[in-house]
Amino acid sequence: MARKTLTTLLISTAIFAIAACNTVRGAGEDVKSASNSVENAMH
């Protein structure tokens, strides 16, 4: 019982970690795109 609960917890944590990485990567790309737009507007 405890082993099954621990396995489920570890799998859930891994899934959330992967989702968080994708979210942060997407936010980073948005910030980069916005900064490029501002830089292009200044030139």
Continuous H helices in 1-43: 2-42
Q: pTM of this prediction?
A: 0.50
For residue 26, the Cα-to-chain-centroid distance in whole angstroms is 7
DSSP state of 2: H
Residue 21: the pLDDT is 73
Q: For 1-43, what is each residue's pLDDT tens digit?
A: 788 888 898 888 888 877 777 777 777 888 888 888 878 887 7
